[in-house]
Amino acid sequence: MRALIVALAIAGAAGAASASLPTVNSGEVPIPAPTPQVPDGAREQAEAAIKRDLGDPDSITFRAVRAMEAKTVRHGPFEKTIDGPASVVCGQYKWQDRAAGQSDYYWFFVAIKRGHVLWTAFDMASSEFDEAYESCKGAELTHQRLTEMSGSRD
């Protein structure tokens, strides 16, 4: 009986000692995966898509455009999630309405995956639905966040 108690004590001490040592598999040190970067040309592709959708590319100017790479995107709360990486481009555009003589800045949102535009959204003065602003806000790319990131108030 005494031998059994001594054997259990030795085995317990050995197990506790091995649990406190870090494990290294064949000398490899884990390296975190790189943070996905927004592909070159995503901003230009997003601006071109908005100009195309609005139909008057000569009267559109952009400001406060920011992009991020997302793990997943979804076009609305009831839509299926699309696995990324996907580029999300947000910002503001000014569309000079020649007929009304108006000019103001409105929000736009573009989702891009592997160089293909998944969807665009843009807000207008005449619309009651602010899909672009809400989407940019959800991606934390609204004006408040843009001001913090850029240090400017444009």
Full-model pTM: 0.68
Mean pLDDT computed over every residue of the chain: 76
Strands of 36-131 (E only): list them. 60-73, 82-95, 105-113, 116-122
| Closest CA relative to residue 125, chosen from 148, 151, 99, 153 | 99
Q: What is the pLDDT of residues 52-106, one digit of tens each?
A: 998 877 788 999 999 999 999 998 888 999 998 999 999 999 877 666 566 678 8
Highest mean pLDDT among 28-37, 54-63, 144-153: 54-63
Q: What is the pLDDT of residues 108-120, one digit of tens each?
A: 999 999 999 999 9
Q: What is the pLDDT of residues 128-138, one digit of tens each?
A: 668 898 999 88
